[in-house]
Amino acid sequence: MWNIRLLDKPFNAKVAYDGHPTLFTIKLYHGGEFTKFPDVQYIDGSVNYVDMVDIDTFSVHELDAMMKGFRYGVPPVIYYHFLVPGGDFHFGLKPLGNDDDLRTFAQYVCDHKIMRVYTEHAIAQLFPVAEHGFCLRHIYENMRKRWRTTKYKEKLWNCAKATTVQEFNRLMKAFSEYDIEAYEWLKKIPPQHWARSHFTGRPITDMLLNNLCEVFNSKLIEGRDKPIITCLEYIREYMMKRICNVIKVQQKCASPLTPTATKIMESNTTNASNYIARWNSSDKYEVQGPWQDQHVVDMGQRVCSCRKWELTGIPCRHVIAVLFDKADNGEDVGELYTYVHKVHWLETWKEAYSYKVEPIKGRIMWPVSDCPIKISPPPHRNQPGRPKKKRQRSMDEKSQS
């Protein structure tokens, strides 16, 4: 049985949980609010702990009893996250792992406005190789709200687009000389989440925005305000049409690469004619071009010091200049597209869309369920005014419209 921690009595989690891997602590925030990112702090509220919670028996229903134990009454907003010895947060996701707890948690969110915070730590534990990127547009919007100006946009984007650490440091230094306060604010955000220079290259992308989610969400506007079955049917029909439209585009492709990768390769190939590659008698080349653009290409490791080949999986102009030099010296370099990562191949794209959404019969032909349990919809409260259909637009988007 869980215990409410008394503030006048110390609690040693390492000793209490030794030999009990299923026990954890819930940390509750109540009565206040969190400040905005990146200076996240909890202000004007209280913090309490519930210890000795057993993961095998815990249910989110128990949060009601915990809040009554703290004499919270009817809560406004409760924030909570899960703690185990050593700062390991991964138990926080397991209590919500089965269907019953997920349904209970969803209902609890509707009734009490519960929110879980600090999930990034949990994701890092469960998926250690996953990389977490921030949308640069949202970072800029937060910066604009604080300083009420658009002067930082170009400088922020220049820092984020830099592909090498040296260039990133130089641009950040210039940013600090322009406005030290804004620089200190930006420096608190880890660059591996928003700057290309600190990306690992493992995801084979240099995207700085969350446009992939935004585009998908924009296509679901017509179904968002519908009942759940109608909404799911709308999504199913959209996905079926989407797959067909993509297949039609694929059938028109003459290149072995996707259309986007083909355009990038054509541009890099054209620019590569302005570069000179010098061999060092091993797998490395020194490539020099205009505007003091000089980098080292290692064909054995398949990397370039500009890091664009590593980040995107598409050979940069320096690599293509090396391939031209190798071909001029009688070496068989093969087709250029073979140096592109397979994620950009047309063959891979077709495989991703090889799965089909099956058509279904009309609703009048659906079988009638013989399940004796009837699931009732959650209680609905009509809000004043006309229901909003579109998502709330940011300040930056409003100014551009």
Tokens of 6: 């008394």
- Residue with the two structure tokens 């869980």: 2
User: Does residue 109 sit in the same domain as residue 17?
Assistant: yes
Tens of pLDDT, residues 298-348? 999 999 999 999 999 999 999 999 999 999 999 999 999 999 999 999 999
User: Does residue 122 sit in the same domain as residue 7?
Assistant: yes
Rounded to the nearest 10°, the torsion over CA 166, 170, 173, 174 is -160
Tens of pLDDT, residues 348-368? 999 999 999 999 999 899 888
The last residue of a domain, from among 105, 126, 147: 126
User: Does residue 77 sit in the same domain as residue 103?
Assistant: yes
User: Does residue 63 sit in the same domain as residue 9?
Assistant: yes
User: Does residue 119 sit in the same domain as residue 160?
Assistant: no
Whether 250 is in a domain gets the answer no
Whether 49 is in a domain gets the answer yes
User: Does residue 108 sit in the same domain as residue 149?
Assistant: no
The last residue of a domain, from among 344, 374, 389: 344
User: Does residue 11 sit in the same domain as residue 116?
Assistant: yes
Neighbours of 215 (CB within 10 A): 9
Quick check: 273 pLDDT over 80?
yes
**pTM for the full model?**
0.68
The whole domain housing 313 covers 259-344
Whether 254 is in a domain gets the answer no
How many distinct structural domains can be found in the chain? 3
User: Does residue 116 sit in the same domain as residue 165?
Assistant: no
The last residue of a domain, from among 313, 344, 375: 344
Mean pLDDT of the chain: 81
Whether 214 is in a domain gets the answer no
Whether 216 is in a domain gets the answer no
The confidence band for 400, taking pLDDT boundaries of 50, 70 and 90, is low
User: Does residue 113 sit in the same domain as residue 158?
Assistant: no
User: Does residue 152 sit in the same domain as residue 96?
Assistant: no
User: Does residue 282 sit in the same domain as residue 325?
Assistant: yes
Tens of pLDDT, residues 14-59? 777 777 767 777 777 777 776 665 566 777 777 788 888 776 666 6
Separation of alpha carbons 319 and 315, rounded Å: 6
User: Does residue 22 sit in the same domain as residue 121?
Assistant: yes
